[in-house]
Amino acid sequence: MAEAESHHTLDLPVFESAPKVLIVAAPYYRDIAEGLLAGARTMLERAGALHETVAVPGALEIPSAIAIAHRHAQFDGYVALGCVIRGETTHYDTVCNDSSRGLMLLGLQGAAIGNGILTVENRAQALVRADPTGGDKGGGAAAAALHLIALFRRYALSRKGIGFRPGGGTRLAGEPDGGETA
């Protein structure tokens, strides 16, 4: 069992200004979601982060909700919380794969997301992982989001001089300016 394994966890990052985090939770299994939420909120508060929570119907809606907030709101990061328990059909595989893929794509586009969507074989596994005094996967997802926010803040301040910036007014030698024709 996983409880016997040991693993290293990073110290929480320290922030000069409090990050603002959106927790997106799918309370399809309400008791499991409540455990995940408790762990996430405790971790965010421990790091001095501001947070708010929204609920969506299920795990498949979590990436869409984060995408909406990422485009239209001012959050530094996101915590995705939910649970998918294997059933008798292949719907489990679809929900697991598509919710995970959606979060990964958003992350690759610059959203700092901690993935706390449990994918388990049964309710007992979910309860152990969701328990803030047990597996604390909600707290782990919040910590992951905080680490990504810290990484973004670290590198957002040091822009490299490569690529192009539109509207900069700089032209290359021999390039016509706005008044010349090519």
Positions marked active-site: 91
From the CA atom positions of the chain, what is the Rg in Å?
A: 20
Residues paired with 105 in a beta bridge: none
The residue assigned the tokens 């794509």 is 105
Nearest to 23 by CA among 10, 36, 8, 6: 36
121 CB neighbour count, 10 Å cutoff: 10
**How far, in Å, CA of 158 to CA of 141, rounded?**
27
Determine the straight-line distance between the first and last CA of the chain, rounded to whole angstroms: 70
Label the pairing between strands 113-120 and 50-55: unpaired
CA distance to 20, 64, 114, 117, per residue, from 96 (Å): 27, 15, 15, 8
**How far, in Å, CA of 42 to CA of 182, rounded?**
62
